[in-house]
Amino acid sequence: MNLLMCPVCHEALKLTERTWRCENNHSYDVAKQGYVNLHVVQHKHSKNPGDTPESVQARRAFLSAGHYAPLQQAVVNIIRDLRIENLLDIGCGEGYYTNAMQAEVLQCVGVDIAKNAVQVAAKLNKDVTWVVGTGATLPVLDQSIDLCTSLFSPIPKDEILRVLKPEGHLMVVTPAPEHLYAMREALFEEVKPHEPNKFVEQLTAAFELVSEQVVKAEMVLPQQDLKNLIAMTPYAYKVKAERREALEQKDQFALTAQYQIYLFKKK
């Protein structure tokens, strides 16, 4: 079953050879890397939205080293227990989590606003439908999705409600209170715990909270992995240069990753 929607007229897209086309003859070619760009010009607010190429490469290198594998496995276990047919990963980035999710479903769509991230992701797994698109207009059909996932990504609530089936689920992964606390202490003068509960408060009107869990992972990072972690986070451009340089000079650094996973069901 096709899931993709034309971002211009919102009709269903059909794939013929290497072109997605709707009944109004809007067409979108599959790039040689294997993704389709459904982020049309009229929806763009900048020329190259989303993560920078440097951030994407840093994330790919860091995640490939396995430091966030406990989170990846926890997410896969939840999807396996749901026994669903399809999912939409919102903000899929370079595809680390989406790649693992795909094995648990019949159809998997990964969407991200950053074209350079999707280009990298598309090389990972040809069985995922990789899409450059925006959460403001998710590029999938109404009530077509069993599970939307948002891992450290925006949560376009109204669009998620549109694309989810009546009994559909939403999985949100966000930093738990103590996530990367030691690193943030080294980078900033004042550090506040993360507040994951704000997502629950934002979503309770439209979603029922089914389950929640915290996953912890202790890490001792060698210097290059530490540099990659800093580069892939928003801290990279918020921190003073001298503090970042001082931390990056350490041969290794011990810290704890702490993730909050919420599973919601559409009311």
pTM: 0.94
DSSP output for 154-177: ---HHHHHHHEEEEEEEEEEEE-T
Nearest by Cα to 210 from 80, 76, 82, 73: 82
The predicted pLDDT at position 183 comes to 97
The predicted pLDDT at position 31 comes to 97
CATH of the domain at 43: 3.40.50.150
Q: Is 9 one of the annotated binding-site residues?
A: yes
Quick check: is 252 in a domain? no
- According to DSSP, the β-strands at 35-37 and 27-29 are unpaired
Quick check: is 228 in a domain? no
Quick check: is 199 in a domain? yes
Quick check: is 202 in a domain? yes
The predicted pLDDT at position 237 comes to 83
Quick check: is 25 in a domain? no
User: How far, rounded to the nearest angstrom, does the alpha carbon of residue 78 sit from its chain's CA centroid?
Assistant: 16
Containing H/E element for 258? strand 252-266
The predicted pLDDT at position 50 comes to 65
Quick check: is 185 in a domain? no
Crossing angle between the packed helical segments 53-64 and 115-122, to the nearest 10 degrees: 40
The predicted pLDDT at position 40 comes to 84
Q: List the chain pLDDT tens, one digit each, 267 residues.
A: 899 999 999 999 999 999 999 999 999 999 999 999 999 875 545 555 567 889 999 999 999 999 999 999 999 999 999 999 999 999 999 999 999 999 999 999 999 999 999 999 999 999 999 999 999 999 999 999 999 999 999 999 999 999 999 999 999 999 999 999 999 999 999 999 999 999 899 999 999 999 999 999 999 999 999 999 999 998 888 899 999 999 999 999 999 999 999 999 999
Q: Is 167 one of the annotated binding-site residues?
A: no
Residues 6+ away with beta carbon under 8 Å from 234: none
Buried/exposed code over 67-82 (b: 16+ C-beta within 10 A; e: otherwise): bbebbbebbeebbeeb
Quick check: is 250 in a domain? no
Q: Is 94 one of the annotated binding-site residues?
A: yes
Residue 94's alpha-carbon distances to 64, 106, 118, 122, 175, in angstroms, are: 11, 21, 6, 8, 19
The predicted pLDDT at position 47 comes to 55
Q: Is 179 one of the annotated binding-site residues?
A: yes
Containing H/E element for 19? strand 19-21
Q: Is 148 one of the annotated binding-site residues?
A: no
The predicted pLDDT at position 42 comes to 55
What domain range includes position 207? 34-179+192-218+257-266
> What is the number of structural domains in the chain?
1
Quick check: is 229 in a domain? no
